[in-house]
Amino acid sequence: MQIQLIRSATLRLTYAGKTLLIDPMLDSKDARPPVINTPNDRRNPLVELPLPIDDIVADLDALLVTHLHQDHLDETAIARLDTTLPLIGQPDDVDRLTAHGFTTLLPVDDTRVWEGITITRTPAQHGTGEIAVAMAPVSGFVLSAPDEPTLYLAGDTIWYEEVGRAIAAYRPDVIVVNGSGARFTVGDPITMTAEDIAEVQRAAPLATIVVDHLEAINHCLETRDAIAERLTALDARDRVLLPQDGETLTF
């Protein structure tokens, strides 16, 4: 298995002989306004893509979209992707994805098998209280295949009991968590903080944890350096990776 971090939550995943593009955000730097009612009033994305779009979308076998917020599927991605590619995602998103022109939708209600890869949808909670309700639906996904590590893409979620249950149920070898403690000007964080990542590390001490969703959107406030420092202070830095944009990890 190889995971290449493109930017934010966008990944190129090579798994069981297939290449999937996950949560494609392909806009150029400063293409759209700041997320409203959030700190750090800067246009998004904050940084450019680390490689040309043609390279990012080349030789894909499928797409996986965890949910339809713009930092997980943007207008540039919709325009540049092959809309006939199989697209794995939430059942709730089928109508909107169809309206965007995607024709080969593979919604995962519970579990489905695609090209020898078992894909299971897991719960996610994108914040707390009324904010979490407004930000729903969101999902995580677990991928497993013979002779491959089990991969848990937690999605846009905070640490809560269902993340712990997913770890206990599927015993993933690699966990990708969306960090940065993204937030609005009111309410609690809507993605994992360093403290949340520490809870994941304690729940899965033998897994490798990959932190993405960093330093690319204006309300994503916790940086790589700050997360690394805080995890060290919490004695939870072991087996936690904070890749740079464009970096490829091999498992």
- Domains in the chain: ranges and CATH: 2-243 (3.60.15.10)
Q: What span, in angstroms and rounded, lies between the C-alpha atoms of 87 and 206?
A: 31
Instruction: Please tell me the pTM assigned to this model.
Output: 0.98
Low-confidence ranges of the chain (pLDDT < 70): none
Q: What span, in angstroms and rounded, lies between the C-alpha atoms of 96 and 147?
A: 35
Q: HSE on the CB side for 186, CA within 13 Å? A: 4
- Non-local CB neighbours of 36 within 8 Å, separated by 6+ positions: none
Q: What span, in angstroms and rounded, lies between the C-alpha atoms of 113 and 210?
A: 24
> What does the pLDDT read at residue 8?
98
> What does the pLDDT read at residue 39?
86
Write out pLDDT tens, residues 176-190.
999 999 999 999 999
What residue type is assigned to position 155 of the chain? G
Of 194, 200, 199, nearest to 174 by C-alpha is: 200
> What does the pLDDT read at residue 93?
98
Of 133, 142, 139, nearest to 156 by C-alpha is: 139
DSSP string, 87-135: EEE-GGGHHHHHHTT--EEEE-SSEEEETTEEEEEEE---SSHHHHHHH
Of 57, 107, 50, 104, nearest to 77 by C-alpha is: 57
